[in-house]
Structure formats: structure tokens, C-alpha cells
Amino acid sequence: CFTASRPLSFELRLFGEAISTAPLFLRAFQLLASNGIADRRMYLDSAHSLDWNGVSCAELVRAGKLTGAQPAALDFTSFFRNEGGSDTATITFLVPTWLREGGRDLHVPTFAALVCRVRDRISMLCRLYEELEWQAGFAAIGQAADKATVCDWEGGWVEYSRPSTRTDEEMPLAGFRGTISCKGIDPRLWPLLRIGEEIHVGRQVVWGHGLFQISSTDVRREARPASTPLP
């Protein structure tokens, strides 16, 4: 529930040529504010174009009116310039994340599955929105990711459903929500992990799944297989 003292704030991400349609989305937000939601009146306060750190680099809407400023077009170059990181990490899956490996659902994600899905999603986004092939060593990325192991985890597999507004059918949703601790990470994989934080990963990302955060950590616990079944 949002009120005057608790405003509704959210991010909209546009890829490739869709960036040029930003004014259309801003106009839609203006109309939403003027028409309201149900019996609730709304006011469009501001809209900003943000950099990867969440810092405003252009004010697109001020006091409900378009400023004429253009949104920034970001790329992944900065992630690869800052290559390197610890060989241990804690990865927190903030929302359900559905990963598969070897044809089976992972009730606890493996590090390799996470990295490979990030790799494949970057490739897919390049093809769909830039009409370009991502020039990367796919096999080398997979081999490097296989060297890392999950040594501990907390959380579990969740399942629920949502109604389809198109068919009125219940759509099954699922995924792991919790934290995994990894060790043996190839430092060259950190740029992919940072990109993954921004683009989400796994199945059902269009419904907000696959959001995770990663941080370096000192992992000293005994290894526990990520494939350990949940109670």
C-alpha cells in the first residue's frame, strides 16, 4: 500500500532500441497519475535516469512534467574494467530463483549453474535487443565456474502460483530463496556475477524472479553438496 508519506518507487529497464521509447513510458506514467488507480488519486513526482550504482545522471521528470532530458544508455564495459575479486562469496537470492542443471531443477543452486545462466542470458539479451552475437568463450566460462563449490546454504525451495490475466488460469511459480556460500571462485568471473545482479537470472525473470546479490566473504565451513535434498 502506498500513501503520500510512503510513495511508490520502482525501476523500469529498457534494453537496446527500446531505450528510445522512454518518453512513451513517461507519458504513460503521467496518464496513470492523472487517472489514478481505482479510487486513489496519484501524483507523478519525479523520474530519473540512473547509472549502475543507482546514482541519478539525468532528471527526466520534475514536478510531474517532462524535462526533455534523454535517458543514459548504459553498457557492461565498466564491469569488465573492474575485473577481479575474492575467491569466496555469499550469494543471497532475494526472490525465488529457478535454475536447472543437467535437466533437473536445482532446489539449491550450484555456482556453475548460476554463472552459466548469467552467461546465457547476456547472450540472449545481445541477440534480442542488439541483434549481435556476444563474443565470449562460453566453454571457458563454464569450465571456470565448475571449479567453485557451494560449501553451505540456508533457505529452501518455494512454490506458489499467480492468476493469468489473459487466461484466468493459475500459473505455477517456484524457485530457491535463501543464501549460498561459495569458495574456489575464479576471480575472472566476478564481472559476470555483477552483471547478473542487474539483469536477474533463471526461469520466470519476466515475473520478477531471479534477483540476487553477491558479496565477498571469508568461507571456512565444511563443504556440503548443493544437491543435498531439502527436508
Query: Which residue intervals of 70-110 are DSSP H helices?
Result: 77-81
> In DSSP terms, which residues pair with 177 in a beta bridge?
156
Q: Is 101 exposed, middle or buried (0-12, 13-18, 19+ CB in 10 A)?
A: middle
Per-residue pLDDT 10s for the chain (231 aa) are 566 677 778 788 888 778 888 989 988 888 888 887 777 777 888 899 998 888 898 999 998 888 989 898 888 777 776 656 689 999 999 999 999 999 999 999 999 999 999 999 999 988 888 788 888 899 999 999 999 999 999 999 999 888 877 787 888 899 999 999 999 999 999 999 999 998 999 998 888 899 999 987 644 444 444 443 332
User: Based on C-alpha coordinates, what's the Rg of the chain?
Assistant: 20
The 10s digit of each residue's pLDDT in 69-99 is: 989 888 877 777 665 668 999 999 999 999 9
**What cell does 195 get?**
552483471
3-state SS assignment for residue 50: strand
Residues with Cβ < 8 Å from 36, sequence gap 6 or more?
42
Closest CA to 34 of 1, 67, 64, 3: 64
Residues with Cβ < 8 Å from 156, sequence gap 6 or more?
107, 176, 177, 178, 230
Give the Cα separation of 147 and 145 in Å (integer).
5
> In DSSP terms, which residues pair with 158 in a beta bridge?
175
The CB-side HSE value for 10 (13 A sphere, CA atoms) comes to 8
Cα distances from 27 to residues 11, 20, 63, in angstroms, run 16, 13, 14
The 10s digit of each residue's pLDDT in 107-143 is: 999 999 999 999 999 999 888 887 888 888 999 999 9
Give the Cα separation of 141 and 189 in Å (integer).
8
